[in-house]
Structure 1
Amino acid sequence: MTQDSGPAPVEEDSRGILRPHDRPWGMQRFAPSPALAPYVRHYWAVWWDLPEGEVFEQGVLAHAAVNLVVEPERAGVHGVPTRLSAQSLRGRGWGLGVLFRPGGFRPFWPEALSALTDTVGDVARVGPGAEDAVAGVRATDVPERRRDVLDAWLASLAPAAPPEATVRAVAAAELAAADRGITRAQQLAERSGRDLRSLQRDFAEHVGLSPKQVILRYRLLEAAEQAAGDSPVRWDELALELGFSDQAHLVRHFTAVFGIPPARYAAAARAR
């Protein structure tokens, strides 16, 4: 696994964030330390300050990865969700999160990641020092310092070298995310040098979704990213590129997850 040059700002990569251009909040992303690069994609800091009485519902279709999130009044380990979620923002607030690589959180958790899917776990289960780390994050107003606190704590818990099973799971999941040409679980297994049953077991243990679910998740995130862009989208062509049988197949899955058809989603983004 190689370390990224740095996380892209939300203006360049808004995958997973609904209505990315219609948001009353700010976001900054930070790279992990080298010791955590095999496990962590990036840290993210968000903040908002809304007028009294105003509420903003932010929809999110998360990556196929775990997020550890600290806020002023709560902290938790968010397993991979299987459906769209929403965060109600009101007043003034902030959050600091750790987006792990898909498959990268398993060395920090005491059981298979499939048991964490669609749930929020206790940060204390990650390892010793959790309470102090959360308190340290809340003790400063500077996002970079908050990141440093979490990074130092997680680095103290990380294995000296990534376990082979983690390397294997992360590589397969990130291949599914990056390669549009992979549209079926069997293809992913072959490209990963695994048989399908072994890959399915790896994903249940280390990712929390099946290979098929991970592939579909990233194809839908890609479709939403294209829809939110400035250029018109040829939905029939994009559907085939992303492995859907036809445009209707893409529209059906997109609408089921995001609540509206992709063309209407695109129109709303262009109307910002």
Structure 2
Amino acid sequence: MIWGYPDIPSGFCILMPTVPNDRTAHAAPSMWSVRPAPPLDAYIDRIWGMSYHAQTPVALPRILPGTGAEMFVHFGQPFSAVTDTGAIDVLPRNHLLCVRNVCLDLLPSSNLDFIAVRFKSGCILRFLDQSLGECFDHPLSLDDAMGHAGTVLMDRLHGVSGRDRRVALLEEWLKNRLQRRAWFDPRMAWATRELYYTSGGIQALADRMGLGRRQLERRFKAQEGLSPVAFRQLARFQRTAKTLLLDPMQPLIQTGLDFGFADQAHMVREFHAIAGRTPERLRDEMRARLTFYCRSSSHQRIAASPTA
């Protein structure tokens, strides 16, 4: 349990405002997370959701660049976001987010009810009808991302009520989508996880895979839309930012060193290049917002879903 938010599993972190007020203490979003059943758990990190209905809007996060992808289905008010030009854009009610090069500032909302699927790095292509690069940096409607099957899913999800039934329906649909696609290279999906979790060099990874470096770079970029070097840089930023936002008391410099930054200047330079902010400023700005980051141990199965 998180202090002040008894309905939220401990794997989710709500970043309290620096000076909590009475209105914040009386209304809190309800969040949940479940582990998908096999074989989906090899490709999907979690299925999760949030509901919030109150007079006082809740501050939603700034979506930071990362290495995965997220599918959102809204039953309440869809997200609104501030674009790079400063305009306010209402996102599609059902959409895919695959943010790599921009930040997406979600506006506060007082009417939230959504279910989301968080895909692991390198795995969203098992479910798409198009290349990954076409999905980067702008909300893509599920009709465009999944074709007619996406439309059918949305109609079915909006036709049922209750978290358990929606999760079971969503898992069934995802299993039916799980098939070998011409543009999905399982070896490159493995390479993304190696780059995400290890600090070895690109040449060492190519050697382990029995590939030349240029061959690895060409195949990796064809699938992920990024070079291995750019992906590793983004993964390092994502893992560091996640730790700092979930555990705000963590020392900045040591956290950066733990995730592979050479020194403070390296960390500050890379954060500014990716998020337009220093690590300290980013952490301070996010204190008064929700974060969609969560710890790995937060999964819980629910009754209507198949058992693991």
The TM-score, its normalising length taken from structure 1, stands at: 0.77
Aligned to 1:28: 32
Matches for 1:220-239 after TM superposition, within 5 Å: 220-228=237-245, 229=247, 231-233=249-251, 235=253, 237-239=254-256
2:113 corresponds to 1:94 = yes
Partner SS, residue 135 of structure 1: helix
2:211 maps to a residue whose letter is R
- Equivalents in 2 of 1:191, 1:21: separation in Å? 41
- Equivalents in 2 of 1:178, 1:49: separation in Å? 38
Partner SS, residue 37 of structure 1: helix
2:56 corresponds to 1:56 = no
- Equivalents in 1 of 2:252, 2:42: separation in Å? 36
Q: 1:58 to 1:204 in 2, by over 3 A?
A: same
Matches for 1:47-196 after TM superposition, within 5 Å: 47-52=51-56, 54=57, 56-72=59-75, 74-124=93-143, 125-159=145-179, 165-179=184-198, 181-182=199-200, 184-196=201-213
Q: 1:37 to 1:205 in 2, by over 3 A?
A: farther
- Equivalents in 1 of 2:152, 2:125: separation in Å? 22
Shift of the alpha carbon at 1:30? 1.7
Shift of the alpha carbon at 1:62? 4.8
Aligned to 1:197: 214
- Equivalents in 1 of 2:45, 2:241: separation in Å? 20
Q: Which moved more, 1:186-195 or 1:143-152?
A: 186-195
Partner SS, residue 199 of structure 1: helix
Q: 1:31 to 1:63 in 2, by over 3 A?
A: farther
Deviations 1:211-231 (A, max 9, x none): 222212221122223323254
Shift of the alpha carbon at 1:61? 1.6
Shift of the alpha carbon at 1:173? 1.0
2:55 corresponds to 1:45 = no
The share of aligned pairs that are identical, in percent, is 22
Shift of the alpha carbon at 1:271? 9.4
Aligned length in residues: 254
Q: Which moved more, 1:147-156 or 1:221-230?
A: 221-230
Q: Which moved more, 1:75-84 or 1:149-158?
A: 75-84
Deviations 1:15-44 (A, max 9, x none): xxxxx5238533222222213233222212
Structure 1 unmatched runs, 5+: 1-8, 15-19
1:247 maps to a residue whose letter is Q
Q: CA RMSD in A?
A: 3.2
Which of structures 1 and 2 has the larger relative contact order (alpha carbons within 8 angstroms, sep 6+)?
2
The TM-score, its normalising length taken from structure 2, stands at: 0.69
Q: 1:193 to 1:46 in 2, by over 3 A?
A: farther
Q: 1:189 to 1:165 in 2, by over 3 A?
A: farther
- Equivalents in 2 of 1:57, 1:37: separation in Å? 27
Q: Which moved more, 1:138-147 or 1:247-256?
A: 138-147
Aligned to 2:230: 213
1:38 maps to a residue whose letter is A
- Equivalents in 2 of 1:163, 1:37: separation in Å? 21
Deviations 1:103-144 (A, max 9, x none): 212232233212222233342352553323112222344223
Partner SS, residue 42 of structure 2: coil
Contact 2:131 2:183 in 1 (8 A): no
- Equivalents in 1 of 2:232, 2:215: separation in Å? 17
- Equivalents in 2 of 1:112, 1:230: separation in Å? 36
2:267 corresponds to 1:263 = no
Shift of the alpha carbon at 1:238? 4.0
Partner SS, residue 51 of structure 1: strand
Shift of the alpha carbon at 1:47? 2.0
